Amino acid sequence: MSDSPAGLSADDGDGLASTENEESKVGWSAAKEIAIIIVIALVLSALVRAFLFQAFWIPSGSMENTLLPEDRILVNKLSTQFGEIRRGDVVVFSDPSNWLSDRFDQGNILQRSVRKAFSIVGLAASPSDRDLVKRVIGVGGDKVVCCDAKGRVSVNGKPLDEESYLYPGDAPSDEPFNVTVPVGSLWVMGDHRSASGDSRFHQQDPAGPFVPVDKVLGRGMWVGWPVSRWSVLRVPETFSSIPVNPAGK
Protein backbone atom coordinates (compact mmCIF):
# COMPACT_ATOMS: atom_id res chain seq x y z
CA MET A 1 0.00 0.00 0.00
CA SER A 2 1.37 3.40 -0.99
CA ASP A 3 2.24 6.08 1.60
CA SER A 4 1.43 8.84 -0.90
CA PRO A 5 -1.73 10.94 -0.45
CA ALA A 6 -4.76 9.76 -2.36
CA GLY A 7 -4.58 10.73 -6.02
CA LEU A 8 -0.87 11.65 -5.89
CA SER A 9 1.81 9.12 -6.65
CA ALA A 10 5.45 9.33 -5.60
CA ASP A 11 6.32 9.98 -9.24
CA ASP A 12 3.97 12.97 -9.23
CA GLY A 13 5.83 14.47 -6.25
CA ASP A 14 9.16 14.09 -7.98
CA GLY A 15 7.68 15.80 -11.04
CA LEU A 16 6.58 18.84 -9.03
CA ALA A 17 9.99 19.19 -7.40
CA SER A 18 11.68 18.90 -10.77
CA THR A 19 9.40 21.56 -12.26
CA GLU A 20 10.12 23.95 -9.39
CA ASN A 21 13.87 23.43 -9.81
CA GLU A 22 13.64 24.07 -13.53
CA GLU A 23 11.63 27.25 -12.99
CA SER A 24 14.19 28.41 -10.42
CA LYS A 25 17.03 27.75 -12.87
CA VAL A 26 15.20 29.60 -15.65
CA GLY A 27 14.58 32.58 -13.36
CA TRP A 28 18.21 32.67 -12.23
CA SER A 29 19.42 32.36 -15.83
CA ALA A 30 17.20 35.27 -16.90
CA ALA A 31 18.46 37.39 -14.00
CA LYS A 32 22.07 36.66 -14.99
CA GLU A 33 21.37 37.58 -18.62
CA ILE A 34 19.77 40.87 -17.57
CA ALA A 35 22.73 41.63 -15.28
CA ILE A 36 25.19 40.89 -18.09
CA ILE A 37 23.26 43.11 -20.51
CA ILE A 38 23.25 45.96 -17.97
CA VAL A 39 27.00 45.60 -17.34
CA ILE A 40 27.75 45.56 -21.08
CA ALA A 41 25.54 48.62 -21.62
CA LEU A 42 27.31 50.50 -18.81
CA VAL A 43 30.74 49.56 -20.15
CA LEU A 44 29.80 50.67 -23.68
CA SER A 45 28.36 53.90 -22.30
CA ALA A 46 31.55 54.56 -20.36
CA LEU A 47 33.66 53.89 -23.47
CA VAL A 48 31.54 56.26 -25.56
CA ARG A 49 31.91 58.90 -22.86
CA ALA A 50 35.66 58.40 -22.65
CA PHE A 51 36.45 58.43 -26.37
CA LEU A 52 33.54 59.69 -28.47
CA PHE A 53 30.88 61.92 -26.93
CA GLN A 54 30.12 63.33 -23.51
CA ALA A 55 27.27 65.37 -22.10
CA PHE A 56 27.98 68.39 -19.91
CA TRP A 57 25.76 70.42 -17.62
CA ILE A 58 26.09 74.23 -17.86
CA PRO A 59 26.31 75.71 -14.33
CA SER A 60 26.63 79.44 -15.03
CA GLY A 61 25.64 82.26 -17.35
CA SER A 62 29.10 82.99 -18.75
CA MET A 63 28.07 81.77 -22.22
CA GLU A 64 24.60 83.35 -22.38
CA ASN A 65 22.64 83.47 -24.56
CA THR A 66 24.35 80.76 -26.58
CA LEU A 67 24.21 78.50 -23.52
CA LEU A 68 21.96 79.03 -20.53
CA PRO A 69 22.35 77.77 -16.95
CA GLU A 70 20.98 74.22 -16.64
CA ASP A 71 21.46 73.49 -20.36
CA ARG A 72 22.90 70.09 -21.24
CA ILE A 73 25.25 70.04 -24.20
CA LEU A 74 26.79 67.19 -26.16
CA VAL A 75 30.54 67.44 -26.74
CA ASN A 76 32.40 65.68 -29.56
CA LYS A 77 35.72 64.37 -28.27
CA LEU A 78 36.86 63.01 -31.63
CA SER A 79 36.89 66.53 -33.05
CA THR A 80 39.84 67.43 -30.85
CA GLN A 81 41.65 64.10 -31.12
CA PHE A 82 41.56 63.88 -34.91
CA GLY A 83 40.80 67.44 -36.00
CA GLU A 84 41.82 71.01 -35.36
CA ILE A 85 40.10 73.35 -32.94
CA ARG A 86 38.74 76.28 -34.91
CA ARG A 87 38.19 79.92 -34.12
CA GLY A 88 34.59 80.34 -33.08
CA ASP A 89 34.22 76.83 -31.67
CA VAL A 90 32.51 76.42 -28.32
CA VAL A 91 34.82 74.14 -26.33
CA VAL A 92 34.81 72.45 -22.93
CA PHE A 93 38.20 72.32 -21.26
CA SER A 94 39.76 71.37 -17.95
CA ASP A 95 40.73 74.22 -15.66
CA PRO A 96 44.15 75.22 -17.06
CA SER A 97 45.68 76.90 -14.00
CA ASN A 98 43.31 77.41 -11.07
CA TRP A 99 40.80 79.56 -12.93
CA LEU A 100 38.21 77.91 -10.67
CA SER A 101 40.24 78.07 -7.47
CA ASP A 102 37.43 79.67 -5.48
CA ARG A 103 34.67 77.49 -6.83
CA PHE A 104 33.19 74.43 -5.13
CA ASP A 105 30.89 71.59 -6.13
CA GLN A 106 27.18 72.15 -5.81
CA GLY A 107 25.12 69.89 -3.55
CA ASN A 108 26.09 67.78 -0.57
CA ILE A 109 28.71 65.04 -0.70
CA LEU A 110 26.14 62.31 -1.43
CA GLN A 111 24.58 64.28 -4.30
CA ARG A 112 28.00 65.03 -5.78
CA SER A 113 29.11 61.40 -5.47
CA VAL A 114 25.97 60.05 -7.13
CA ARG A 115 26.14 62.65 -9.91
CA LYS A 116 29.82 61.87 -10.50
CA ALA A 117 29.21 58.11 -10.59
CA PHE A 118 26.32 58.48 -13.03
CA SER A 119 28.35 60.79 -15.27
CA ILE A 120 31.25 58.31 -15.41
CA VAL A 121 29.03 55.63 -16.96
CA GLY A 122 27.18 58.11 -19.15
CA LEU A 123 23.87 58.12 -17.30
CA ALA A 124 24.07 61.82 -16.42
CA ALA A 125 25.70 64.96 -17.74
CA SER A 126 29.06 65.80 -16.22
CA PRO A 127 28.60 68.44 -13.51
CA SER A 128 31.57 70.39 -14.93
CA ASP A 129 32.88 71.05 -11.43
CA ARG A 130 36.45 71.47 -12.68
CA ASP A 131 35.73 72.19 -16.34
CA LEU A 132 34.87 75.37 -18.21
CA VAL A 133 33.05 76.19 -21.43
CA LYS A 134 34.02 79.18 -23.59
CA ARG A 135 34.28 80.28 -27.21
CA VAL A 136 37.63 80.10 -29.00
CA ILE A 137 38.58 83.56 -30.26
CA GLY A 138 42.21 82.95 -31.19
CA VAL A 139 44.28 79.85 -31.99
CA GLY A 140 48.04 79.36 -32.04
CA GLY A 141 49.84 82.15 -33.90
CA ASP A 142 46.89 84.57 -33.88
CA LYS A 143 47.20 88.16 -32.73
CA VAL A 144 44.09 89.04 -30.72
CA VAL A 145 43.48 92.67 -29.78
CA CYS A 146 40.84 94.71 -28.01
CA CYS A 147 39.76 97.13 -28.70
CA ASP A 148 39.91 99.05 -31.98
CA ALA A 149 38.54 102.58 -32.44
CA LYS A 150 35.02 101.16 -32.67
CA GLY A 151 35.39 99.01 -29.56
CA ARG A 152 35.69 95.71 -31.47
CA VAL A 153 37.85 92.65 -30.90
CA SER A 154 40.12 91.89 -33.85
CA VAL A 155 41.97 88.74 -34.86
CA ASN A 156 45.02 89.21 -37.10
CA GLY A 157 43.77 92.69 -37.92
CA LYS A 158 40.22 91.64 -38.86
CA PRO A 159 37.49 93.11 -36.61
CA LEU A 160 34.92 90.57 -35.45
CA ASP A 161 31.22 91.15 -35.93
CA GLU A 162 30.02 89.54 -32.69
CA GLU A 163 26.40 90.67 -32.70
CA SER A 164 25.06 87.18 -33.45
CA TYR A 165 26.43 85.64 -30.25
CA LEU A 166 27.45 88.46 -27.88
CA TYR A 167 25.15 88.89 -24.88
CA PRO A 168 22.73 91.78 -25.57
CA GLY A 169 23.97 95.03 -24.08
CA ASP A 170 27.51 93.77 -23.44
CA ALA A 171 30.58 95.46 -24.90
CA PRO A 172 33.06 93.16 -26.68
CA SER A 173 35.36 93.71 -23.70
CA ASP A 174 35.86 96.18 -20.89
CA GLU A 175 39.30 94.66 -20.34
CA PRO A 176 41.97 95.64 -22.90
CA PHE A 177 44.37 93.07 -24.33
CA ASN A 178 46.92 92.73 -27.09
CA VAL A 179 48.30 89.21 -27.26
CA THR A 180 49.81 86.69 -29.63
CA VAL A 181 48.54 83.20 -28.90
CA PRO A 182 51.35 80.65 -28.50
CA VAL A 183 51.33 77.61 -30.77
CA GLY A 184 49.40 74.81 -29.08
CA SER A 185 47.25 77.23 -27.07
CA LEU A 186 43.95 79.10 -27.31
CA TRP A 187 42.54 82.49 -26.32
CA VAL A 188 38.99 81.96 -25.07
CA MET A 189 36.15 84.25 -24.04
CA GLY A 190 32.59 83.80 -22.82
CA ASP A 191 29.73 85.18 -24.91
CA HIS A 192 28.38 86.94 -21.80
CA ARG A 193 31.48 89.09 -21.51
CA SER A 194 30.45 90.94 -18.35
CA ALA A 195 29.86 87.62 -16.53
CA SER A 196 32.77 85.54 -17.80
CA GLY A 197 36.10 84.95 -16.08
CA ASP A 198 38.03 84.04 -19.22
CA SER A 199 41.46 84.61 -20.79
CA ARG A 200 41.14 88.37 -20.36
CA PHE A 201 41.26 88.14 -16.58
CA HIS A 202 44.27 85.83 -16.35
CA GLN A 203 46.80 87.96 -18.20
CA GLN A 204 48.81 88.44 -15.02
CA ASP A 205 48.69 84.79 -13.95
CA PRO A 206 52.07 83.02 -13.72
CA ALA A 207 50.79 80.40 -16.18
CA GLY A 208 49.40 83.07 -18.50
CA PRO A 209 45.92 83.58 -19.96
CA PHE A 210 45.99 80.85 -22.59
CA VAL A 211 44.36 77.42 -22.60
CA PRO A 212 46.64 74.58 -23.75
CA VAL A 213 45.02 72.59 -26.55
CA ASP A 214 45.64 69.37 -24.63
CA LYS A 215 43.32 70.66 -21.90
CA VAL A 216 40.37 70.72 -24.31
CA LEU A 217 37.92 67.88 -23.67
CA GLY A 218 35.89 68.41 -26.81
CA ARG A 219 33.95 70.68 -29.11
CA GLY A 220 30.35 71.56 -28.29
CA MET A 221 28.02 70.15 -30.93
CA TRP A 222 24.46 70.36 -29.72
CA VAL A 223 22.25 71.73 -26.97
CA GLY A 224 20.20 68.67 -26.07
CA TRP A 225 18.26 69.71 -23.00
CA PRO A 226 15.78 71.17 -22.30
CA VAL A 227 13.90 70.13 -25.44
CA SER A 228 12.84 73.72 -26.07
CA ARG A 229 16.54 74.62 -26.44
CA TRP A 230 17.48 71.98 -29.03
CA SER A 231 20.01 73.57 -31.38
CA VAL A 232 23.29 72.93 -33.17
CA LEU A 233 26.32 74.91 -32.00
CA ARG A 234 27.75 76.42 -35.18
CA VAL A 235 30.80 78.58 -35.85
CA PRO A 236 29.66 82.19 -36.42
CA GLU A 237 30.19 83.53 -39.93
CA THR A 238 32.56 86.27 -38.74
CA PHE A 239 35.28 83.65 -38.11
CA SER A 240 35.18 82.30 -41.67
CA SER A 241 37.63 84.73 -43.23
CA ILE A 242 40.29 85.45 -40.61
CA PRO A 243 43.65 86.10 -42.29
CA VAL A 244 46.86 84.45 -41.16
CA ASN A 245 49.00 86.56 -38.87
CA PRO A 246 51.94 87.22 -41.23
CA ALA A 247 54.20 88.61 -38.55
CA GLY A 248 53.54 85.80 -36.12
CA LYS A 249 53.92 88.23 -33.26
Task: Give the per-residue pLDDT at 45.
Answer: 53
Task: Give the per-residue pLDDT at 248.
Answer: 57
DSSP at 126: B
Q: What CATH number has the domain spanning 54-239?
A: 2.10.109.10
Instruction: Give the start-end residues of each E strand in 90-230.
Output: 90-94, 131-138, 143-146, 154-155, 158-159, 177-180, 185-189, 211-212, 216-225
- pLDDT tens digits, one per residue of 84-96: 899 999 999 999 9
Locate the domains of the chain by residue range. Answer: 10-51, 54-239
Task: Give the per-residue pLDDT at 118.
Answer: 47
Residue 232 contacts residue 221 (beta carbons within 8 Å): yes
Q: Which residues are catalytic?
A: 62, 134
- pLDDT tens digits, one per residue of 38-82: 666 656 555 555 556 788 889 899 999 999 999 999 999 887 666
Q: What is the pTM of this model?
A: 0.73
- pLDDT tens digits, one per residue of 130-181: 789 999 999 999 999 999 999 999 999 999 999 999 999 999 999 999 999 9
